[in-house]
């Protein structure tokens, strides 16, 4: 391929790579202090001793049990403090402590929870879900877990689709509200979207949060390119049974790796969505062998390709590099040349995870698209990409949208 828009950064090894000390000091300490991705709702006081332990013990590989285990004592201590707070009926303190414990478990399970394994990452995820749901049970409105039958499953899919659902208190059959379906990412799952659900609820909309194929609790066969289509059909059919949901005003927001599925759904399920945001998405070039040869050197905190390969059903990252694009690319499979619902593309131009070329190519295929790209910013274009997301949803969900069918 011609030179990437990322420029010289394409061949650059970013300074945090390969060292937990460098990751903490050059990247994650700042994120933790400012409570930004991936430390939303976390506390620097919780993480400082954890990372000091990892540095002191020279634990640099997040895929090891030793990395994950280092987080458990702090998370457990926060849970114990929450129990003590509940014993004095201090529910606000208990909820805050449980939320912090959930963030600690969240970082412990980096970089990936494999849905096919019962390992320590899955244990951390299950603990996170438990404390997060308990924390959210004190919120108004609360978040609830709903586990629905996968009614469109194939023989290789799982039987159930777990969801998080949050609905405004005033929603009812007489007052149905718009709904935003959040499609999560490679490492960010259902318990990692508090701020988004707050923003959505504050606007009077409901939200449904679901993990993408090949991650966490998703039942979809990760090796089947049509697995996500079946999963979204099941989820949308369930949403249609909720009388408090206005199914003429349904939007979706695909986050990072979820952006790939957002783009696909905008085409395959175009008649069921008023609009979709693909935020930090890949669609074709992110699986290019040349791109994959360098992506582990860029802004992702740990090695990316082993987790990416596994989520697409490949045990061998090299096999994923050779064959993944032809099998899954939305260009190669003809998805991009179909009509789509309204589709907004958001990303940083300096994205070293999914190249900005993947957003730009969409303007030359299928229906007209919308886009907002942020020069000088990396993957996802944070923080500047958040405000346009909510502004766009406000317009899309203000009234039922015409559907483009041909």
Is 180 within a domain? yes
Strands 144-149 and 160-166: antiparallel
Specify whether 161 is located in the same domain as 260: yes
Query: What pLDDT digit, counting tens, does each position of 332-372 carry?
Result: 999 999 999 999 999 999 999 999 999 999 999 999 999 99
Specify whether 27 is located in the same domain as 94: yes
Query: What pLDDT digit, counting tens, does each position of 135-191 carry?
Result: 999 999 999 999 999 999 999 999 999 999 999 999 999 999 999 999 999 999 999
Name the strand (E) or helix (H) holding 77: helix 72-87
Specify whether 132 is located in the same domain as 162: no
Query: What pLDDT digit, counting tens, does each position of 371-386 carry?
Result: 999 999 999 999 899 9
Specify whether 177 is located in the same domain as 216: yes
- Domain-ending residue, one of 87, 104, 138: 138
Query: What pLDDT digit, counting tens, does each position of 264-284 carry?
Result: 999 999 999 999 999 999 999
- Domain-ending residue, one of 138, 153, 180: 138
Quote the pLDDT of residue 400.
60
Domain boundaries, position 91: 15-138
Is 147 within a domain? yes
Angle, CA 74 vertex, CA 68 and CA 77 arms, to 5° = 135
- Domain-ending residue, one of 76, 107, 138: 138
Q: How many CB atoms are closer than 10 A to CB 293?
A: 12
Distance CA 69, CA 89 (A): 31
Buried b / exposed e across 223-241, counting CB within 10 Å, b at 16+? ebbebbbbbbbbbbebbee
Quote the pLDDT of residue 406.
45
Specify whether 130 is located in the same domain as 145: no
Specify whether 254 is located in the same domain as 354: yes
Catalytic residues: 256, 351, 379
Is 1 within a domain? no
For the chain, give the percent of residues with pLDDT over 70: 98
Quote the pLDDT of residue 329.
97
CATH code of residue 354: 3.40.50.1820
Quote the pLDDT of residue 1.
63
Surface-to-core class of residue 90, CB atoms within 10 Å of its CB (0-12 exposed, 13-18 middle, 19+ buried): middle
Query: What pLDDT digit, counting tens, does each position of 66-119 carry?
Result: 999 999 999 999 999 999 999 999 999 999 999 999 999 999 999 999 999 999
359-365: long-range contacts, CB 8 A cutoff, minimum separation 24: 359/278, 359/281, 360/5, 361/283, 361/284, 361/285, 361/331, 361/336, 362/263, 362/283, 362/336, 365/331, 365/336, 365/337
Distance CA 251, CA 263 (A): 12
Is 204 within a domain? yes
Strands 177-183 and 144-149: unpaired
Specify whether 134 is located in the same domain as 217: no
Is 2 within a domain? no
Contact yes or no for 102/135 (Cβ under 8 A):
yes
In the 8-state DSSP scheme, what is residue 122?
Answer: H
Specify whether 124 is located in the same domain as 212: no
Three-state DSSP string of 263-307: HHHHHHCHHHCCEEEEECCCCCHHHCHHHHCCHHHCCCCCCCHHH
Specify whether 121 is located in the same domain as 160: no
Question: Please, what sign has the CA dihedral across residues 68, 110, 113, 152?
Answer: positive
Quote the pLDDT of residue 401.
54
Is 27 within a domain? yes
Of the candidates 298, 317, 105, 354, the residue with the CA atom closest to the CA atom of residue 216: 105
Question: Please, what sign has the CA dihedral across residues 251, 384, 305, 344?
Answer: positive
Specify whether 120 is located in the same domain as 186: no
37 pLDDT more than 50: yes
Contact yes or no for 288/325 (Cβ under 8 A):
yes
- List helix spans (H) across 168-277: 194-202, 227-240, 257-268
Of the candidates 354, 364, 384, the residue with the CA atom closest to the CA atom of residue 372: 384
CA distances from 31 to 23, 36, 288 (A): 11, 5, 30
Is 250 within a domain? yes
Specify whether 177 is located in the same domain as 94: no
Is 209 within a domain? yes
Query: What pLDDT digit, counting tens, does each position of 223-249 carry?
Result: 999 999 999 999 999 999 999 999 999
Q: Residue 100's Cα: distance from chain center in Å?
A: 19
> How confident is the prediction for the chain on average, in pLDDT?
95
CATH code of residue 24: 1.20.1440
- List helix spans (H) across 305-346: 305-311, 317-328
Specify whether 45 is located in the same domain as 152: no
Surface-to-core class of residue 258, CB atoms within 10 Å of its CB (0-12 exposed, 13-18 middle, 19+ buried): buried
Surface-to-core class of residue 184, CB atoms within 10 Å of its CB (0-12 exposed, 13-18 middle, 19+ buried): buried
Number of folded domains in the chain? 2
């Amino acid at each position: 391929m011609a030179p990437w828009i990322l420029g010289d950064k394409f061949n650059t090894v970013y300074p945090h790579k390969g060292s937990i000390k460098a990751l903490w000091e050059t990247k994650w300490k700042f994120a933790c202090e400012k409570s930004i991705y991936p430390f939303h709702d976390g506390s620097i006081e919780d993480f400082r001793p954890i990372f000091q332990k990892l540095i002191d013990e020279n634990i640099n590989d997040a895929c090891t049990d030793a990395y994950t285990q280092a987080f458990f004592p702090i998370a457990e201590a926060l849970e114990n403090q929450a129990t003590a707070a509940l014993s004095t009926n201090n529910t606000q303190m208990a909820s805050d402590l449980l939320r912090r414990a959930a963030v600690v478990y969240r970082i412990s399970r980096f970089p990936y929870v494999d849905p096919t394994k019962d390992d320590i990452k899955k244990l951390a995820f299950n603990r996170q879900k438990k404390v997060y749901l308990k924390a959210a049970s004190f919120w108004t409105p609360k978040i609830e877990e709903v586990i629905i039958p996968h009614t469109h499953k194939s023989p290789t899919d799982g039987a159930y689709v777990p969801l998080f659902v949050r609905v405004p208190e005033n929603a009812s059959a007489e007052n149905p509200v718009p709904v935003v379906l959040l499609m999560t990412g490679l490492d960010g799952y259902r318990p990692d979207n508090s701020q988004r659900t707050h923003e959505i609820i504050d606007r009077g909309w409901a939200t449904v949060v679901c993990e993408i194929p090949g991650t966490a609790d998703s039942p979809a066969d990760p090796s089947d390119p049509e697995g996500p289509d079946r999963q979204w059909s099941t989820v949308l059919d369930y949403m249609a049974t909720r009388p408090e949901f206005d199914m003429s005003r349904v939007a979706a927001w695909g986050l990072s790796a979820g952006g790939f599925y957002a783009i696909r759904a905008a085409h395959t399920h175009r008649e069921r969505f008023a609009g979709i945001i693909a935020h930090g998405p890949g669609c074709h070039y992110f699986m290019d062998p040349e791109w994959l040869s360098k992506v582990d050197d860029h802004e992702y905190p740990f090695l990316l390709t082993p987790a990416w390969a596994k989520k697409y059903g490949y045990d061998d990252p090299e096999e994923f590099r050779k064959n993944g694009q032809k099998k899954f690319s939305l260009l190669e499979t003809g998805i991009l040349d179909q009509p789509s619902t309204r589709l907004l593309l958001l990303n940083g131009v300096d994205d070293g995870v999914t190249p900005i070329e993947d957003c730009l190519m969409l303007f030359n295929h299928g229906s007209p698209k919308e886009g907002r790209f942020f020069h000088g910013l990396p993957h996802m274009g944070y923080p500047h990409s958040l405000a346009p997301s909510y502004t766009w949803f406000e317009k899309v969900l203000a009234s039922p949208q015409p559907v483009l069918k041909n």
